[in-house]
Chains A and B, each alone.
Chain A
């Protein structure tokens, strides 16, 4: 039972344009969300997070939006750069402990 879903396995974007990666979740107890970036043959690295008390968090070119009523979050990358090409995982946590549930990832390709 997958509680965090990333329905787009891949996305291609031209350099300089906006990349929008989407994530949906089913558990209304989730109150903390993170995005991780993963390059081939490396582990995921933390990118940006948001707690449920906010609907937006921005860090440089990266912005995460949270729509609690729709149980949806998105990661915007503006402007996209070729170095952003990687797999992006959405993760969510809530309730007890610090157990995170991950989506299956979206592979982003930024075309120069």
Chain B
């Protein structure tokens, strides 16, 4: 029974296209995140939502727009894809309490051609 799931697992697309990645968690957590792992393997937070409200928004191009329809879902929409957007994107969730680990999804490998 998957705790944090992401779809699709792989995404190959052309520059300039718009694409979405979906994330769902069934852990009852309050907070969800999107991370980007680039070619240097650096895992960097992009966004964090708590109870459908944006609480962390790192320096990310505004072509990236997260959407949280409810606290179990956090989708990532990317407009006008660029070559540099190629990366693995991880969704994660946690309880809002400070000292709680995050549970990660399996990742979505995005390749922009």
User: Using a CB–CB distance below 8 Å, which chain A residues touch chain B?
Assistant: 2, 32, 34, 36, 41-46, 49, 51, 87, 89, 93, 97-102, 104-105
Contact = CB atoms under 8 A, between A and B. Distances in A.
Contacts of A41: 106-107
Given A43-B106, A97-B48, A102-B44, 15 more contacts: A2-B42, A32-B98, A32-B99, A34-B101, A36-B101, A43-B104, A45-B103, A46-B102, A89-B43, A97-B55, A98-B48, A98-B94, A98-B97, A99-B48, A104-B40
Contacts of A42: 106-107
A44 B48 contact: no
Contacts of B40: 104
Interface string B93-113: 010111111111111000000
Contacts of B94: 98
Interface residues of B, number: 27
Nearest to B56: A99
Interface string B22-56: 00000000010001000011111100100000011
Contact of A51 (B44, B48, B97, B99): B99
Contacts of A44: 43, 90, 104
Contacts of A98: 31, 48, 94, 96-98, 100
Contacts of A97: 48, 55-56, 98
A83 B9 CA distance: 24
Contacts of B96: 98
A43 B101 CA distance: 13
A89 B56 CA distance: 21
B81 interface: no
B20 to A, nearest CB: 19
A41 to B, nearest CB: 7
B100 to A, nearest CB: 7
Nearest to B92: A43
A49 B55 contact: no
Contact of A100 (B45, B97, B105, B106): B45
